[in-house]
Chain A
C-alpha cells in the first residue's frame, strides 16, 4: 500500500500521423494548471429582450461561473477573455484552433443559449485545441432562473471529462452562520451553493444550532438544536422547512450523521456523564445502542458501504480514533501518533478517513487510511476542525478560528477547503462568520 495514488487522465486523438493529449494530473494540485479558454456563451439575438433584459448578460455570467469553478480547483487556469479572437457564435460552430493555440489554450469551452417557449435552452461544447477535436457536446433545457445550476452542471461535465473524476460543482454546503460577540454568539443554519452564492438562512437564531450534516441521498439535514434549551438531534427537510426531533431520548443527543443509504441517523447520547453511540432507523424509529463504554464515544461516521463506523473515544485516556463493525463489534484503535485525534469522517470513496489532530497546541486537518496507516497532515493552524468531504472525495471543507485578543478581539471563524494532496488551500467566502460545514452530494446525478 506504499504506492502513491496517481490518476492521470489521458485523451488520445488521432490527427494525421501524430497523437496529441490533454492531461490533468489531479494529484499535484496547482503546480501546472491546464490553460483553458471559456468563451462567453453566445446569446441568441431574438432572446435578448426576454423579460428583464438579463438574458443579454447570461452568456457572460454562465461562462464566469464556469471559470470561477475551474480556477477554484487549482487544476485549471482560465485564460483572460481579452485575448480571445474568435466571436462566441463562430467559435461554437467551429473553432479556429490555431487562434486558440496561439493564446496557449489547451482546452476550449464554447456555447450558446436562447429562450424558447419561456424555457432557457443552453448548449455547450468542450474542444481539445491541440487535437482539433470536439470532446463533449451537451444541451440543457430549464427555466431561466436555473441558469446557475446549468453553469455548475457544465463545469461538472468538463471536470469529469478532463480529470476522470466525478465533479462537485453542482452541490451545496450547509454550515452554521455566526454573528455577535463570542460570549453571546448567535448561530443560524445557513446554506449556500458550493461557490458561495445563493446564501439562505434556515433558522432565525433564536436557539443555538450546531453541526448540520446532509443526508447523502436527499435534501434532509440532521443537526443539533438547543430548542427550548434541550440539546437534541433534529431532522430538517430543507425543501419544506419541516423539523422534527430525532428519537425520544431523556438527555442530550448530539454529533449526528446519516448512514450512507440515508436511512439511519448515527449519533451520541449523553447520560449521567457518559456518552455512547446510538443509531435510529428513520422509518421504523428503532433505536439501537452501538457502543457500551464508560468513556466518551462520539463523532461517529459510517464507511460508504455502511459496514463500518469510525468514531473518537477517550477510552485509552485521551481522545483517539477507533473503527468498529456497524453492530459495534470488533472495536479497533487506529490512531497512534503523538497527540489527540478527533472528528473522524470516512471518505465517500472509502479509502481515507479525514480527522482533526491536536498536537503541541496546534490543530491539524489530516487524512489516514482506514486501518490508520499512511497518516498525512494537510494543514496546520491555531484552531481548525470538523472536515467534511466533497462528494468526489478529492477535497475537504472545514472551519478555522483565529486567536482572539482581550474580549474576543480579532476573533473570526471561516470556512476553508483543501485538496487531499495538501495543495489549493482556500477560504470559502461566507456572508458572516461560519463553522461546521457539511458538503452535499451532487444535486443532479
Chain B
C-alpha cells in the first residue's frame, strides 16, 4: 500500500513538474495567484533558510500544488535533520465559506500536508494537526488575494 502511494506521488510530481514547466512563462512573480492558489511571497515565514512555513490551496480544495509539494519536501528534509523537532500543522480557510464546512475543509488541508510529510518518512508522532477554519485569517481584507493567502496550512514548530 505504502509503496503504491509513493509511486503515485512520484508520478504526480513528474506530471505536475511537466505541467509547470509548460506554463512557467505565464506566471507572475512576487504577488498574485495562479489557478486560484496564492503564489506570492507575502505572509510566508521561514522555518529555516529556504524552508517556507506554509502551503496554499484553491477555493474549496485541499489538494496540494506542485509548489506546495516542493515546500513540504523541504520541510520534511528539515525535520529529518532536526530529529527532536515536532510540528503542528494549522489548517485554515477563507471567509467565503460557511463556518462549519471551513472547519472540516481546513482540517482536510492540514492533513493533506501531513500525509505528504509522512510519505517522506516523517513519523506521524512528530506531527499534530489543528483546524482553525476561517477563524484566524492572516489577511483580513475581503479581496480574492487575501482569501488566497488565508487558504493555507502552516507548519509551526512545537518545541
Chain A interface (Cβ within 8 Å of chain B)? 181-183, 185, 187, 208, 210-211, 224, 229, 231, 252, 254-255, 268, 270, 272-275, 296, 298-299, 312, 314, 318-319, 340, 342-343, 356, 358, 382-383, 385-386, 401, 403-408, 411, 435-436
Tell me whether A436 and B99 are in contact (CB under 8 A): yes
Tell me whether B100 and A255 are in contact (CB under 8 A): yes
- CA of A229 to CA of B60, assembled, Å: 25
A296 proximity list for chain B (CB < 8 A): 101, 104-105, 108
| Known contacts A231-B130, A231-B131, A404-B142; A275 and B104 CB within 8 A of each other | yes
Residue of B nearest to A273 (CB): B111
Tell me whether B136 and A183 are in contact (CB under 8 A): yes
Residue of A nearest to B131 (CB): A252
Tell me whether A273 and B97 are in contact (CB under 8 A): no
- CA of A401 to CA of B108, assembled, Å: 25
Tell me whether B141 and A406 are in contact (CB under 8 A): yes
| Known contacts A319-B101, A356-B98, A386-B98; A407 and B108 CB within 8 A of each other | no
Q: Is B67 an interface residue (CB 8 A)?
A: no
Tell me whether B99 and A386 are in contact (CB under 8 A): yes
A275 proximity list for chain B (CB < 8 A): 104, 107-108
B142 proximity list for chain A (CB < 8 A): 382, 403-405, 411
Tell me whether B135 and A185 are in contact (CB under 8 A): yes
Most chain B C-beta atoms within 10 Å of own C-beta, residue among A229, A252, A314, A342: A252
B131 proximity list for chain A (CB < 8 A): 231, 252, 270
- CA of A172 to CA of B114, assembled, Å: 42
A217 to chain B, nearest CB (A): 23
Which 6 pairs show the lowest CB-CB distances between chains A and B?
A273-B111, A408-B140, A182-B140, A342-B98, A275-B104, A255-B100
A314 proximity list for chain B (CB < 8 A): 60, 101
- CA of A187 to CA of B136, assembled, Å: 12
A298 proximity list for chain B (CB < 8 A): 100-101, 103-104
- CA of A176 to CA of B16, assembled, Å: 43
A254 proximity list for chain B (CB < 8 A): 100, 103-104
Residue of B nearest to A275 (CB): B104
A227 to chain B, nearest CB (A): 13
Tell me whether A299 and B141 are in contact (CB under 8 A): no
- CA of A314 to CA of B60, assembled, Å: 10
- CA of A229 to CA of B135, assembled, Å: 13
B149 to chain A, nearest CB (A): 11
Tell me whether B100 and A183 are in contact (CB under 8 A): no
- CA of A404 to CA of B137, assembled, Å: 12
Tell me whether A408 and B101 are in contact (CB under 8 A): no
B105 proximity list for chain A (CB < 8 A): 296
Tell me whether B101 and A342 are in contact (CB under 8 A): yes
Tell me whether A229 and B104 are in contact (CB under 8 A): no
| Known contacts A252-B103, A270-B107, A408-B140; A318 and B135 CB within 8 A of each other | no
Residue of A nearest to B108 (CB): A273
- CA of A252 to CA of B114, assembled, Å: 16
Known pairs A252-B103, A270-B108, A299-B98; list 8 more (Cβ under 8 Å): A183-B138, A231-B130, A270-B131, A272-B111, A342-B100, A385-B98, A404-B140, A406-B141
Residue of B nearest to A410 (CB): B142
- CA of A312 to CA of B101, assembled, Å: 8
| Known contacts A231-B130, A403-B142, A405-B141; A318 and B104 CB within 8 A of each other | no
Between-chain CB contacts (< 8 Å), 10 pairs: A208-B132, A208-B135, A210-B133, A229-B130, A252-B131, A299-B101, A312-B98, A342-B100, A407-B140, A407-B141
- CA of A403 to CA of B96, assembled, Å: 11
B97 proximity list for chain A (CB < 8 A): 319, 342, 358
- CA of A208 to CA of B142, assembled, Å: 22
B9 to chain A, nearest CB (A): 16
Q: Is B45 an interface residue (CB 8 A)?
A: no
B29 to chain A, nearest CB (A): 22
